[in-house]
Structure 1
Amino acid sequence: MKVVSLWHATDDELNYIKKKLPSSTELVAPKGEYFSRFEASYSDLERHAVDADAFIGWTLPAGIPEIARKLKILSWFHSGVDDLAETGVLRLAKERGFKVTNIRGANAVAVAEQAMMFVLALAKQTVIKHQAMHDMRKFFPLFGDENRSAMLSGCTIGVVGVGNIGSRIAKRAKAFDMQVIGVRRNRDLPAEYVDSMHGLDELHSVLGKCDYVVLATPNTNETFRFFGKAELASMRPSAFLINIARGNLVEEKPLYEALTTGRLRGYAADVWPTYKFGRAFPVSYQSRLELHRLPNVLGSNDQSHNADGVLERYIEWGVENIVEFTAGRPLSREINLDLGY
């Protein structure tokens, strides 16, 4: 079996992968100097891809899947596969019958912790109060509405998308004595730490009960910009919205209006909208309305997974997918090509 690393793996990484796979496995990787693991080009991979049985890695240059006619499995080192859907790779997988797996759950703890950091930072006005301290400025009056912190204890948090990440957010919210309401496609699946579970058809009624709402759902055709004017109108004006999943889940213009008119108390996100030809113009990889500059908005730039141990877990779990495949075992992280996750 020929396995192609889609990145310029280091010698240590290649040795780790070789030890995990059967001794008969041929493992190849592009050579050269790169800045990151996301830069291998078509020319770097072409000669390796034509007879590859398996791909592992973070990026897949355009044209490579098409020439890999022997491909049996793609182990994608991301939790989300929306990029593979947009570029036609999932469609190609259905046509040719090769498997697609991901590493869902590998960064779940890191992302859940980032979500709770945002919840706390919004509630406690962390950035504003740090800046006030830096400027040696006192708030007056002491308990004024504009400078008083919100509480987590006794409040309700709604988690939209109770999967690997959402379930961990629920667990951490319970440590702050919060009431947890979950929203997911299949409301009948059990979820520890969730006080009540609801379907997507109940989303609006759930939103009206929440002091905090966290979006942790995959980006699919059904969820693309699903959170818009009607959903924001269903929220309490005193509530906070946190997006830890994908930037394009939320409609930007209604969100901007809600944040600047007092309709929504605050917003935090690790992810921001991407505008591409065919869906929007101009092409952009940031908020066109500069949401991130608003005083009641906090953000990080896709950094929630940038934490201790996550890179190692990506590689470990990504290789495990190939190990399961070569052993003929069920693929524990196989993507449902129809659902897109």
Structure 2
Amino acid sequence: MFKSINSKIRIGVHGVKLIAEYLKKNISKPSEIAFFEKQDKSFFQFAKNADILVAMSWGKSKWGGTKKIEVPQANNLKLLHLPGAGVDGINFDLLPKNCKVCNVYEHEITIAEYCIANILNWQTNMINVNNNFKKLNWNDSLIFSGPFHSELNNKTIGIYGYGRIGKELAKRLKPFNVKVIGLTRVKKKKDFYLDKCILSKKLDTILSSLDFLVISCPLTEKTENVIDKKTFSTMKKNS
């Protein structure tokens, strides 16, 4: 349980200063909020009596790393809150007893739009074209015999991991007249946004047909190294 209503909650934020500033403005309960750029001595000292810590890594050298490192003796810690979705930077064995771990989601729309932007840019080379236009360089224009680019129309896109992000991406790809193949751990019922859904373990059977492959699954022991050099060599040269 957290402290009494009159006691200050001690919250330490590692890595993202904007989060600390946001919490200071929006938490109404009395609290002491401190920001730490690194998990250094000052962070360790604060963590000893912290109620909540905000960080993407705990007991690992970095987010997603495998090397174990020392953690603070944070025996009073009630909550470790991740400002992202992935928990691959957390060594759960080193968490204090009764400490809860929370991650965040609801960023699936933003990530889906980011993927769409990159797919379109790959097809049109729009970023480089725009940068050249800013320099008054029109060599990319067909008027000056600039290069042709292909269309997203009729392309085949695989989505490895059909959770929140995967589904939002498929939803946005639908109007582009592309074939969307979802890859999931367990067989799913028919989905309006997918032209086909297969088990993720069958990825190798469709690689040669894909123009794009989007990875939208969490990094776990089961998914690590699923995509490797062989994967890229099996796909189309221009994919």
Q: TM-score surpassing 0.5?
A: yes
Alignment match, 1:68? 74
* 1:59 Cα deviation after fit: 6.1
Specify which of 73, 77, 98 is matched with residue 83 of structure 2.
77
Specify which of 23, 26, 47 is matched with residue 16 of structure 1.
26
> Secondary structure of the residue that 1:96 maps to in structure 2?
coil
Aligned: 1:237 with 2:228: no
Unmatched segments (≥5 aa) in structure 2:
4-8, 61-68
Aligned: 1:126 with 2:96: no
Alignment match, 2:179? 179
**Counterpart of 1:16 in structure 2: which amino acid?**
N
**Counterpart of 2:94 in structure 1: which amino acid?**
L
> Secondary structure of the residue that 2:23 maps to in structure 1?
helix
2:84 and 2:174 mapped to 1: Cα distance? 28
> Secondary structure of the residue that 2:217 maps to in structure 1?
coil
Contact 1:6 1:40 in 2 (8 A): no
Alignment match, 1:92? 94
Alignment match, 1:136? 138
2:194 and 2:164 mapped to 1: Cα distance? 13
Contact 1:113 1:169 in 2 (8 A): yes
How many residue pairs are counted as aligned between the two chains? 218
* 1:119 Cα deviation after fit: 0.5
Deviations 1:72-122 (A, max 9, x none): 3211111112222xxxx32223x83432110123x2222211111111011
Contact 2:12 2:46 in 1 (8 A): no
Seen in structure 2, the aligned counterparts of structure 1 residues 4 and 204 have a Cα distance that, compared at 3 Å, is farther
> Secondary structure of the residue that 2:153 maps to in structure 1?
coil
Alignment match, 2:65? none
Seen in structure 2, the aligned counterparts of structure 1 residues 57 and 210 have a Cα distance that, compared at 3 Å, is same
> Secondary structure of the residue that 2:116 maps to in structure 1?
helix
Deviations 1:107-165 (A, max 9, x none): 22222111111110111122343456542326679999xx3222122222111122222
Contact 1:167 1:191 in 2 (8 A): no
Deviations 1:213-233 (A, max 9, x none): 212222223333321232123
**Counterpart of 2:104 in structure 1: which amino acid?**
I
1:47 and 1:176 mapped to 2: Cα distance? 54
TM-score (norm 2): 0.74
- Which gives a bigger RCO, structure 1 or 2 (Cα 8 Å, sep 6+)? 1
2:99 and 2:192 mapped to 1: Cα distance? 34
Seen in structure 2, the aligned counterparts of structure 1 residues 138 and 61 have a Cα distance that, compared at 3 Å, is closer
**Aligned positions of 1:27-66 closer than 5 A:** 27-30=31-34, 39=37, 41-57=39-55, 65-66=71-72
> Secondary structure of the residue that 2:89 maps to in structure 1?
helix
* 1:170 Cα deviation after fit: 0.9
> Secondary structure of the residue that 2:206 maps to in structure 1?
helix
1:185 and 1:124 mapped to 2: Cα distance? 33
Alignment match, 1:103? 104
**Counterpart of 1:99 in structure 2: which amino acid?**
K
**Aligned positions of 1:151-170 closer than 5 A:** 151-170=151-170
Contact 2:152 2:176 in 1 (8 A): yes
* 1:65 Cα deviation after fit: 4.5
TM-score (norm 1): 0.54
1:5 and 1:186 mapped to 2: Cα distance? 39
**Counterpart of 1:102 in structure 2: which amino acid?**
N
* Rg comparison, structure with higher value: 2
* 1:178 Cα deviation after fit: 1.8
Seen in structure 2, the aligned counterparts of structure 1 residues 28 and 200 have a Cα distance that, compared at 3 Å, is same
Contact 1:41 1:61 in 2 (8 A): no
Deviations 1:270-320 (A, max 9, x none): xxxxxxxxxxxxxxxxxxxxxxxxxxxxxxxxxxxxxxxxxxxxxxxxxxx
> Secondary structure of the residue that 1:91 maps to in structure 2?
helix
Seen in structure 2, the aligned counterparts of structure 1 residues 162 and 15 have a Cα distance that, compared at 3 Å, is same
2:226 and 2:87 mapped to 1: Cα distance? 18
> Secondary structure of the residue that 2:152 maps to in structure 1?
coil
